[in-house]
Structure formats: C-alpha cells, structure tokens
Amino acid sequence: MTDLAYLPATEALRRFRDRTLSPVELMTEVIKRTEAVEPHVNAFTERMFDEALAAARQAEDRYAGKGEPPRPLEGLAVAAKEEQPIAGRTHSEGSLPYADTISSVTHPIIDRILAAGGIIHARTTTPEFSCAGFTQSRLWGITRNPWNLDYSPGGSSGGSAAALAAGTATLATGSDIGGSIRIPASFTGTVGFKPPYGRVPALPPFNLDTYCHDGPMARTVADCALLQNVISGPHPLDAVSLRPHVIIPEHPQSVEGMRVALSVNLGDWPIDPEVEANTRAAAEALREAGAIVEEVEVGLRRQDVMETAWIHFGAIFGPSVAAIAAEYPDQLTPYAHRFAERALASAGTGSFLEGLEHEAAIQAQIGTLLDRYDVLLCPTTAIPAFRADDDYTTTKITVNGVELDDYMEAVLTTVFNIASRCPVLSVPSGRSTSGVPTGVQIVGRTYDDATVFRVASALERVRPWEFTAQNRPLP
C-alpha cells in the first residue's frame, strides 16, 4: 500500500517546500489509490483528475520558484462535498429530480480552498438533501465504510469521511446540521470540526439557520486546523459570518492543569460498551497529558433534545424537503419522505417560539457546565456505526438493551447543533470488534475554537491514531 496516499497535509506541504515531494507525485498516488478502492467504497460523485493533475503541475512550478509563491494549501488534494456548489458543475444533492442541475454559484469555502492553492480533485457523496446520518441515494448508490464495507461511513458528509479513510483525499469538506461532520468522522476514524455558528461562511438561506455549519475534515488534528484556518472568517455574502478572522494556533500549548468534564451518556443516552470503554480510554489519555478529568452528570434527556431539534427542522429544513417531495413523490428516497413527514408533524407539536425556549434551556445546561470546565468530553455516537444497506425507515436500533424510537437517537451530536455556538471536534477514540472506529466529541465554550484543538492535539499525542501501514482500511 502506498504511503503517499495517507501522507498528512502538513507533512506534504513541508515536503513540497523542501522539494523532496512534488504535488504531481502526491496527486498521482491519490488518483492511483482512488482507482483501486473507489469501486468498493463509492465515495465520489465526480472525478476531476485531468484538471487536478494540471493544477498539480502549476503548483509544482510555484514550489520551484516559477511565478507566484506557494499558497497555504498549494498542491493538496481536497475532496469537496457535493452539497457545496461549484459554478458550472452539477448540484444535485443526491436527488434524482436534480440530477442535471448546474450551479451558477460557488460556495464561499470552495472559493477559499481554490484561492489558497488547494486542488478540488473530486466531489463526494451525500444522502439525498443531506437529511440522513448514513450515505446512500438512488442517484449515487451506497457509500461504504472503508474499515468494514458492511457498515456506513455515516452521513451526511459520508463521502468525504470515507475518502479520507480510504486514502483518496488529503483533506475534505463537510457540513453539519445534526451531526453530519462528526458522525462520519467518528465512524471512519477521522477528524471533523463543527465550527461555532458564523465562524465559517455559508450560502443563503441556510446560512441563517443556526443549526447549519460548514467545516473541515481530515485525518489529523493539525490538518483539520490547517483547512479550518483557510475556510473561516467573514465573507460579504454571509451577513452572519463573524469578524475578526480567528486563527487556530499551529503549535498548541499543553493541557497541563486544564479541566475536562467527562460524560459518557450526556444524561440518558444508552451507550454501546465498546464506545464507553474507548471514551474512558480517551479520558485517561488526557489525564496522562496532564489534564484534570472529572466525570460529571450533564442531565440532558435525549427525548427533550430530539423534540427540540424536530421543532426546528419542522420550521426550516423540513419544509424545503417536503416541497420537493410533493412535486416528485415517486423519485425521492423513502428516508427523505420520512424526514419531511416527521419534520412537518413535529412543527405542529410546538411553535417556533416554544422551540427557542427549549433550545435556551438546553444551551443553559451546557453553558453552566462549561463555565466550570474548559471542555466537555463525550462520545460522538452511541454505537460504532450504522449498517450500510439499511435506510432505517423501519429498522429499530437497540443499544444496551434499550430500543430507540429513531435511529438518530444513537448519536450524541444534535445537542451541539442546538448549542450551536459551541465549537466541537470529533476525534477517534479507538476501534470496535467490527473493525469500525469510534469517536469522542471535544466540546468547547462558545467561540473558543483554539481550546478544542488544543485538547484534541494532546489526546492525539498520547493516543495516536495516524493511518500507519498497520492501521489502515482496505488492501
């Protein structure tokens, strides 16, 4: 197996600069790896390899001193989530009725990646309209987890996460409205950051939805910070994008003396024993790094969180999917129909004002806890992964003897879309007996991005999960 396909972005940039590696060599290896594994994983909706190799040759010239100097992402292979449009290319969002739709706009973070020298060599799969925690659609088929093809890489940024885990991208983009960056990161052993609301610019109208976040995905914490620093900051098309541009430090300080709150279940989420064991191992690693880790009772109820989220979805996201479902009833997936129906039904259970009141109560619990601790550590998901071939429209999930009403109760991410100003990193915590990785969330105080990266870096140093030759999926 080639080493270059799994080379960290920060290491690739160092080698580009000292001329021991060419961007063309790296891109060639990424393409070769794609041709070998993509038939099994199915993470890409579109490949742009000819353009990517041409851009890599231009990057090579920059590093050789020809023309302009290299830029922050110069020559790196970046996979872009198809949900984030690129002008002149398809923008179908995994839906048959929109299979031939061509975008007239480019998402701000795609513009920033290209301006920073990143090379968009491929675009990645999502569930239809990114409304599921797994990745499959009638348009693109089933995307599978490289660690175990029977399982899903999660969703909705499942294609991006699968590409990173499979070695077919160096960096990737994602978006997150209920866990869509963090769930795939957890399921694939990669790193995913849900920035605080407004930190990364988005397109209207969903830039005004406080649950919505675009963010970076990578295989290491430093790589994730690298991409975050490129895509974040104010943008003229997004009135809620924040000033000033906050930069994640390249060399985080130690966590000696920092206070970490550990919660295995956030209140009443049933947790798979392997997930719990790996979460506690991550907590112990932070103790080894010098942090003060204390187990706490958060006191959240998953029913309250789900009801609150569904009221919100019923006001914004649900109606957008429902309108399309009404127009094309035979073309949408069963899970998209189910999402729209449940969201609209939930809108009738409480007004938007009541939903805001519920959100404020949940945010108060998180905020009060984080007033006493620097970060909160908890599992990203309650189970290692969802099955790849199931759409969970009829299947019930049982965790530790508890049957869940909805499969999304098996994740602990949505609470932090409600508490949307909290930055959250999902990082690997270990592996399950199925071979699928598990993850933990590092949750920071509102807009304290640097601290979550600081804690994640410490965890990575003590409990490394780099994709070594002995620790990679697929042959």
Lookup result for tokens 């309650």: 382
Lookup result for tokens 């035979």: 330
186 is catalytic: no
Report helix, strand or coil for 213. strand
Distance of CA 329 to the CA centre of its chain: 30
Q: Which of 272, 312, 270, 258 is nearest to 442 (CA)?
A: 258
Q: Which of 211, 234, 208, 235 is nearest to 106 (CA)?
A: 235
Lookup result for tokens 């909290």: 422
DSSP conformation class of 218: E
Q: How far is CA 388 from CA 138, 148, 208, 360, 454, in A?
A: 14, 10, 32, 35, 34
| Residue 293 in tokens | 């880790």
Strands of 246-395, DSSP E: 259-262, 292-295, 375-379
Lookup result for tokens 């920035």: 195
| Residue 40 in tokens | 């099994």
| Residue 454 in tokens | 């600081």
DSSP conformation class of 77: E
Question: Nearest-5° angle of CA 278, CA 279, CA 281?
Answer: 60
81 is catalytic: yes
Q: Which of 95, 130, 160, 180 is catalytic?
A: 180
Q: Which of 81, 241, 263, 457 is catalytic?
A: 81
DSSP conformation class of 91: -
Spell out the residues 6+ positions from residue 326 whose beta carbon is closer than 8 angstroms to its own. Answer: none
| Residue 275 in tokens | 């997930």
429 is catalytic: no
| Residue 281 in tokens | 């191992």
Measured CA to CA, the distance from residue 67 to residue 78 in angstroms comes to: 23
In the beta sheet, which residues pair with residue 235?
238
Measured CA to CA, the distance from residue 383 to residue 398 in angstroms comes to: 10
Q: Which of 156, 241, 346, 429 is catalytic?
A: 156
Lookup result for tokens 């187990």: 295
Q: How many CB atoms lie within 10 A of CB 267?
A: 16
Spell out the residues 6+ positions from residue 36 whose beta carbon is closer than 8 angstroms to its own. Answer: none
Residues tagged active-site: 81, 156, 180
